[in-house]
């Protein structure tokens, strides 16, 4: 529900002051469902004693995050950070 009415939610809670955050919020909301899947994969790897793969995944996602943030934030500010976060979540 929040994905369809993020502008209404932001306006009700914070008035017009935080309206620039609406576009970032719209990009970050899908990452919540992706994160739930990532948590499922993480739990699966732990319960099947394959924890060694988690370190590799973590290193890959941290690298993607740092590089994407370095490229996107200078040009797109908060929206760039949101895009970088979504890219990292998708790489899981």
| Share in percent of the chain as helix, strand, coil (round to 5) | 85, 0, 15
Length of the chain: 92
List, for residues 37-52, the tens digit of each pLDDT value. Answer: 888 888 998 999 888 8
| CA–CA distance, 87 with 70 (Å, rounded to integer) | 13
Of 4 and 28, the structure prediction assigns the larger pLDDT to: 28
- Mean pLDDT (whole number) for 8-34: 79
* Structural domain total, the chain: 1
> Residue 1 domain-assigned?
no
Kindly state the tokens that stand for 21.
């955050």
The pTM (predicted TM-score) of the whole model is 0.71
**Structural domain span for residue 11:** 6-91
């Amino acid at each position: 529900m929040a994905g369809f009415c993020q502008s209404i939610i932001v306006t009700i809670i914070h008035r017009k002051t935080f309206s620039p955050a609406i576009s970032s919020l719209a990009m970050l909301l899908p990452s919540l469902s992706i994160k739930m899947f990532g948590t499922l994969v993480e739990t699966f790897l732990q319960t099947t004693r394959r924890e060694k793969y988690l370190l590799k995944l973590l290193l890959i996602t941290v690298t993607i995050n740092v590089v994407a943030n370095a490229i996107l934030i200078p040009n797109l500010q908060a929206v760039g950070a949101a895009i970088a976060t979504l890219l990292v979540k998708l790489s899981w």
